[in-house]
Amino acid sequence: MLKGLTGLSTKELKKLLSHVYKNELECPIDVERIARVGFQYKQEEITSALRGLDQEAIRCVLVCVLAERKKQEGAAFYRNTP
């Protein structure tokens, strides 16, 4: 079953995006490159979602995922507010 990047926390996604912006994560990604930036424990999720993409595409995907999460978190906040 395809889970995309749901297995990564928002904090982890931001850290991964930071590595991309700083050119610390070489693209296209592979297991070794993911391990170099400390994400070997999430390599399956990351490679299944981002394998074969160039740096710009990875950056776009991560920004979109973070934006969707922010939108959902905001909506959840307002649903729970009296």
Q: What is the pLDDT of residues 31-70, one digit of tens each?
A: 999 999 999 999 999 999 999 999 999 999 999 999 999 9
Report how many domains make up the chain. Answer: 1
Torsions phi, psi of 25, nearest 5? Answer: -105, 110
What's the pLDDT score for residue 81? Answer: 52
What's the pLDDT score for residue 3? Answer: 80
pLDDT tens digits, 16-31: 999 999 999 999 999 9
Does the pLDDT at position 77 exceed 70? no
Provide the residue range defining the domain that includes 31. Answer: 10-79
4 within some domain: no
> Measured between alpha carbons, how far is 46 from 13 in angstroms, rounded to an integer?
10
Does the pLDDT at position 15 exceed 70? yes
70 within some domain: yes
52 within some domain: yes
45 within some domain: yes
